Amino acid sequence: MRKKFDMFPAPPIDAFGGGIPDDLFEPLPEERRESGAINRESVSYWGQARAKMVSDPLAMSGLAVITLMILLAMFGPVIRPFSYDEQNYLVINQTPDAEHWFGTDKFGRDLFVRVAYGARISLTVGIVAAFVNVTIGVIYGGISGYFGGTADMIMMRIVDIMDTIPTLLYIIIVMIFLGSNVRIVIAALCISYWLNTSRMVRAQILSIKGQDFVMAARVAGESGWRILTRHLIPNSIGPIIVMVTFLIPQAIFYEAFLSFIGIGIAVPVASWGTLANDSLSNMNTYPHLTVFPLAAISITIFAFNFVGDGLRDALDPRLKR
């Protein structure tokens, strides 16, 4: 009886015992050898986001405007030989010229210096309030989304109840009772400004907390707080950055609006809203008093929104093709 492997004969061998002859093979051309190679370097997530951001002209224009506004706030009051509260009744309501680039107001104060000083206040309020509120919202929404259950239900009901009252009403009530200065405005914005951020972060945490890397961290014995701070929140950093860029112009608008209606930053401190309020009585006669503060507010808000749109397109993977 033949063994089973004898049914499959060995491959033919040529006369020299070398198997298949070499003349049956043809060398592969050099261009075909490189056809399967990867011809570009691997790009990280942040590298792709940066490239997409740089290719967006509106986002880069907005970033350039924000940079100019920051430079104006830092060095604008320094490069001019005037103080923001220096009065000169010899040049009252003067139109823009070589000496006073933006003209002067009803007290002879240089409007360029006051707009530059107002940029310090408005940008400080916007940036500090946005980062404080994002910090509160990230921690609150992260805890609610990760631990879930009864804690999530109670925390979200608190958010729903607080959200029934408009943010502007919180701010007005606080400023009526506590006064009006930069710190009070920031504190008033921090009362309910974080609610939408907490909802967004909670949704992000819920969407990724069931993934494999979170399970691996649990198996490794990491605590819930460490998993939240070292794994979940860093993996949600893209939407959080986008949220910051949208919160800053909102805070700037709130501050300008409150100062415009007279309950925000008090005179003689020159915020953009205060400058717009001061120019109301002479708006038809001396329009430059209104144009420059309102232009600064509008340009800054548009710039932050353009940057926010660009970051959202660059960091949100669902928008990538």
The string of pLDDT tens digits covering residues 35-58 is 555 556 666 667 777 778 888 889
What was the pLDDT predicted at 157?
Answer: 92
What was the pLDDT predicted at 42?
Answer: 64
pLDDT average, residue stretch 283-295: 85
| 158, amino acid identity | I
Token pair recorded at residue 187:
């504190």
Token pair recorded at residue 273:
């809203």
Domain count, the chain: 1
- State which residues form the domain around 162: 46-319
Note the helical H segments in the chain.
30-33, 45-54, 57-79, 111-147, 149-163, 167-178, 182-189, 195-208, 212-219, 224-227, 237-260, 272-278, 288-315
What was the pLDDT predicted at 303?
Answer: 92
Query: 15 lies in a domain?
Result: no
pLDDT, tens digit (0-9, with 9 covering 90-100), for 176-230: 888 777 888 888 888 888 888 898 889 888 888 888 888 888 888 888 788 888 8
Mean pLDDT of the chain: 81
What was the pLDDT predicted at 5?
Answer: 46
Q: How many residues does the chain have?
A: 321
Confidence tier at 104 by pLDDT (50, 70, 90): confident
- The residue that leads in pLDDT, 248 or 172, is 248
Query: 36 lies in a domain?
Result: no
64 has pLDDT over 90 = yes
What was the pLDDT predicted at 68?
Answer: 92
Token pair recorded at residue 166:
């408009």
What was the pLDDT predicted at 321?
Answer: 43
- The residue that leads in pLDDT, 270 or 299, is 299
The SS3 of residue 104 is: strand
Token pair recorded at residue 79:
């490069």
- The residue that leads in pLDDT, 11 or 295, is 295
pLDDT average, residue stretch 263-271: 74
Confidence tier at 313 by pLDDT (50, 70, 90): confident
Name the percent of the chain lying above pLDDT 90: 8
**CATH code (residue 220):** 1.10.3720.10
d(CA 194, CA 142): 13
Instruction: For tokens 């049914």, name the residue.
Output: 7
Cβ–Cβ under 8 Å, residues 122 and 272? yes
d(CA 218, CA 202): 19
Query: 72 lies in a domain?
Result: yes
Query: 203 lies in a domain?
Result: yes
- The residue that leads in pLDDT, 279 or 63, is 63
161 has pLDDT over 70 = yes
Confidence tier at 302 by pLDDT (50, 70, 90): very high
Which residues, in sequence order, are bridge partners of residue 104? 110
Query: 115 lies in a domain?
Result: yes
Instruction: For tokens 């298949």, name the residue.
Output: 20
Query: 181 lies in a domain?
Result: yes
- What are φ and ψ of residue 233, in 5° steps? -65, -45
Query: 170 lies in a domain?
Result: yes
d(CA 233, CA 228): 6
Burial of 299 (0-12, 13-18, 19+ CB in 10 A): middle
d(CA 291, CA 296): 9
User: What Rg, from alpha-carbon coordinates, does the chain have?
Assistant: 31
Query: 10 lies in a domain?
Result: no
Start-to-end CA distance of the chain, whole Å, equals 65
What was the pLDDT predicted at 121?
Answer: 87
d(CA 30, CA 128): 60
